[in-house]
Amino acid sequence: MPDFISLTGISKHFGGVTALADVDMTIGAGEVHCLAGENGSGKSTLIKIISGVQPPDAGGEIVIDGRLYTHLTPAESTRIGIQVIYQDLSLFPDLTVAENIAFAQHLRGFRGAGQRRLRSRAEAVVARLGVALDLDALVGELSIAQRQLVAICRALAAEARLVIMDEPTASLTRTEVDTLLDITRELKRRGIAVVFVSHRLDEVMEIAERVTVLRDGRKLGTWDAQDMTPRRLGSLMTGHEFDYKVVVPDLSQAPVVLSVKALSRRGDFQDVSLDIRQGEILGVIGLLGSGRTELALSLFGMRPADQGEIRMDGAPVHLTSNRAAIDHGIAYVSEDRLSLGLVLEQPIASNIVLSTLDKLKGAGGLLSADRRRQAVRQGIEQLGIKVSDPENPVRTLSGGNQQRVVIAKWLATQPRVLILDSPTVGVDINAKDGIYAIVKRLAAEGMAVMMISDEIPEVLYHAHRILVMQGGRVKGEFHPADITETALREAIDA
């Protein structure tokens, strides 16, 4: 396979910080390549250098089509045929699919490209990929998976020879991932190279040929994808061996805290029954659209169920708002930490006390600075949050520490049931361990925990019991000691 692009000795420093150190990498024409690494490993810097957004430090070489570049400009990179599909997809929601795909036509000259020419160009691309897209629909009305197709079509319309996709599967259902993999094969068949950038070990590994792993700005190596196991990749990315064992305490005598009977909400989930005992971690696993998050939102009172019964400590409760749920001792850590979990711009301290402001009232109904300080300190200590100044914005914390802030906020409400929705999304592997340790400690102290996830190892090694959800229903219950990763995956995809 001839090389499409070959990078030699690429380094990048920001001030005194090394983002990339002497990285070599080649991508073959028509190759499917995986670029793996934790947050902060240098993946994004490398992509920015390839796409010309940032120049590398002097001394690096980029060879494309036998031509040597010391750095690329965005325009050059586009002309050569390098297209990056960022995680946010960078589409125009208010323009039609056709215009989004062929937008490059709008960049040259003053006079309009003409709707007809634009359309025929978009049509040609869509036909080439063999995907079904309504060219006249507004992109804002499409599902995430369809939007991704539009982004891929746009890359193709720009005569891409290398498509770099940043975390492409993060918000896709399994069927949608399969479509994506099919399209990737089609791109490959046309001689277009694809680079998947990922910090998790996921489905794209199925069709990748080689994997390059970065850690702390250095390249650890490139391997054939067939030789790579998720565990090996994980330890390469983090530099640690992770060896989890399934440990399940006997909880049969513990009292049931939360009990749900035949709970339904039209269009979201049907006939869900479950119990969580004191000290138990109940894993709920399912793909996007399986109803897992919707169930959690109903238990948290934000989208009340239409049918069925919820009991706390045996007494039926009506959860019509999240305030009611909180008052009954239910807390919910959202999967979308950045927009629903935290107020990123505001201080760490203000986030920790946000749900318990009324408890901080002192003289004359005013917030007592002492009580606030005390509550903040308690949260920080209880969860081991690494903070230089609690008045700094939450934004300045790492993903793992941010998640601890969210949990601290909820622990302050003294919940009996803690619902964690994908608690380690966007958290580095090392920091994940810290979160799991917290969850286990809370359970050991008597908290009933519901841990929702779409990552199999997460529930397999950290939950005491696993429910599989699919199409809004509970499809099965498993004991972690009795099931393997493969069997659990089959149960989810079935």
The residue type at 277 = R
DSSP per position, 328-352: TTEEEE-S-IIIII--TTSBHHHHH
Would you say 8 or 350 has its CB closer to another protein?
350
- Residue 458 within binding range of another protein, rule CB under 8 A: no
User: 367 near 394, Cβ under 8 Å?
Assistant: no
> Binding another protein by CB under 8 A: which of 3, 24, 29, 40?
40
Tell me whether residue 389 is exposed, middle or buried, using C-beta atoms within 10 angstroms of its C-beta: 0 to 12, 13 to 18, 19 or more: exposed
The separation between the first and the last C-alpha atoms of the chain, rounded to the nearest angstrom, is 37
Contacts of 89 (CB under 8 A, 6+ apart): 147, 148, 150, 151
> Binding another protein by CB under 8 A: which of 26, 401, 422, 424?
401
> Binding another protein by CB under 8 A: which of 58, 67, 88, 445?
88
User: 218 near 21, Cβ under 8 Å?
Assistant: yes
What HEC string does 64-85 produce?
ECCEEECCCCHHHHHHHCEEEE
- Strand order in 281-285's β-sheet? 330-333, 417-421, 448-453, 281-285, 465-470, 473-478
Q: How far is the CB of 467 from another protein (least distance, A)?
A: 19
- Residue 471 within binding range of another protein, rule CB under 8 A: no
User: 147 near 139, Cβ under 8 Å?
Assistant: yes
Query: CA-CA distances (angstroms) from residue 312 to 174, 250, 317, 455?
Result: 34, 21, 7, 28
Would you say 56 or 480 has its CB closer to another protein?
56
Would you say 38 or 167 has its CB closer to another protein?
38
User: 74 near 140, Cβ under 8 Å?
Assistant: no
d(CA 67, CA 69) in angstroms, rounded, equals 7
- Total binding residues toward another protein, as defined by CB under 8 A: 88
Contacts of 424 (CB under 8 A, 6+ apart): 403, 431, 432, 435, 436, 455, 458
Would you say 116 or 189 has its CB closer to another protein?
116
Q: How far is the CB of 278 from another protein (least distance, A)?
A: 23
| The one segment of 16-24, 64-72, 124-132, 191-199 that binds another protein by CB under 8 A | 16-24
| Binding positions for another protein, 211-230, rule CB under 8 A | 215-217
User: 74 near 155, Cβ under 8 Å?
Assistant: no
- Residue 22 within binding range of another protein, rule CB under 8 A: no
Q: How far is the CB of 143 from another protein (least distance, A)?
A: 5
Q: How far is the CB of 39 from another protein (least distance, A)?
A: 8
> Binding another protein by CB under 8 A: which of 166, 294, 335, 454?
294
> Binding another protein by CB under 8 A: which of 46, 64, 135, 397?
397
- Residue 386 within binding range of another protein, rule CB under 8 A: yes
> Binding another protein by CB under 8 A: which of 76, 86, 174, 246?
86
| Binding positions for another protein, 145-184, rule CB under 8 A | none
> Binding another protein by CB under 8 A: which of 6, 8, 18, 264?
18
> Binding another protein by CB under 8 A: which of 132, 315, 366, 494?
366
| Bridge partners, residue 492, by sequence | none
> Binding another protein by CB under 8 A: which of 241, 243, 250, 345?
345
Would you say 74 or 230 has its CB closer to another protein?
74
- Residue 308 within binding range of another protein, rule CB under 8 A: no
- Residue 269 within binding range of another protein, rule CB under 8 A: no
- Residue 367 within binding range of another protein, rule CB under 8 A: yes
> Binding another protein by CB under 8 A: which of 98, 360, 448, 463?
360
The residue type at 174 = R
> Binding another protein by CB under 8 A: which of 62, 82, 326, 408?
326
- Residue 238 within binding range of another protein, rule CB under 8 A: yes
